[in-house]
Amino acid sequence: MEKVDWGKPWLSPVRERGICLQREVSKGKSVNEALNVISLEAVRFVPQSELPVGTAYEQFIWDTRCVPTRDNLHDFFNGLVWLEFPQAKRRINELQAQAIAQDGVGAVRGPLRDALAVFDENGALLQAPAALWQALRARDWQRLFIELRPLWAEARLVLFGHALLEKLVSPRKPMVAHVYQAPQAIKSIAALDDWLAQAMQPQPWDTKPFAPLPVLGVPGWWPGNEAPEFYADAQVFRPPRTPPCTAVQAA
């Protein structure tokens, strides 16, 4: 946990609780013990060993309101997101448990469970002017990050995915978030949590209504992106997919 640089801009929304949590861990507490010290009681955090063999992780959380937690960065950030977004995390868990009750646990998750897992691990919320969203959906990186760069002063990107937060402890240019559109009018994280919990519905979430965003391209998030050449890397800032050509039959 000592590797986390809380000065990074993407950690701003979780910085205060994150530092408190890290402090508790540094005192010798396990991650689940540290989380329980500052938990808002939406759930309790328990050692991973309390998850019975053969029981689905999401089902166990729904049945017990207890989150199995290991002593690693991945679960550290998962717990931290539970503290910041308790309603949205609970809603994800509810939808996962409902899908498990309906379809069981198979080798392959259904579309809704898959979408929820993607967002839970790698999601983010973007509050931004319409022009930025249009450019993002079109994957028009030149317009999004260079032509419209001043508009980013009116935008806010809030990371939700705990795996993404973990990966950004060692930032790399190819890291991409799955971004969901949130209203600009919402100011506090608590209000954003409430809105997101209500916005999560089986439809359209089963279609993965997200846009890919290379997070280190966000202005102010990485020194290298101040140079326009940063966005010329087509392996990261990929052009939109083109539909396959269809053969035209002669009349």
DSSP states of 204-236: HHTT---EEEEGGGSTTS-GGGGSGGGGG-TTT
Choose the final residue of a domain: 118, 141, 170: 118
Do both 61 and 106 map to the same domain? yes
- Answer whether residue 249 shows pLDDT above 50: no
- Residue 242 domain-assigned? no
List pLDDT tens digits, range 112-144: 999 999 999 999 999 999 999 999 999 999 999
pLDDT band at 39 (very low <50, low <70, confident <90, very high): confident
List pLDDT tens digits, range 51-79: 999 999 999 999 999 999 999 999 999 99
CB-facing half-sphere around the CA of 199: CA atoms within 13 A: 14
pLDDT band at 244 (very low <50, low <70, confident <90, very high): very low
Do both 165 and 228 map to the same domain? yes
Choose the final residue of a domain: 118, 149, 178: 118
Do both 113 and 126 map to the same domain? no
- Answer whether residue 106 shows pLDDT above 90: no
Do both 109 and 136 map to the same domain? no
d(CA 166, CA 157): 17
Do both 138 and 218 map to the same domain? yes
- Residue 15 domain-assigned? yes
Do both 146 and 156 map to the same domain? yes
Do both 97 and 179 map to the same domain? no
Do both 93 and 130 map to the same domain? no
Q: What angle do CA 156, 160, 166 make, to 5 degrees?
A: 115
Do both 45 and 108 map to the same domain? yes
- Containing structural domain, residue 220: 120-232
- Residue 241 domain-assigned? no
Domain count, the chain: 2
> What's the chain's Rg over C-alpha atoms?
20
The one-letter amino acid at 11: L
Q: What angle do CA 63, 36, 120 make, to 5 degrees?
A: 60
List pLDDT tens digits, range 147-171: 999 999 999 999 999 999 999 999 9
Do both 143 and 114 map to the same domain? no
pTM for this predicted structure: 0.92
d(CA 53, CA 14): 33
Do both 134 and 101 map to the same domain? no
Do both 60 and 75 map to the same domain? yes
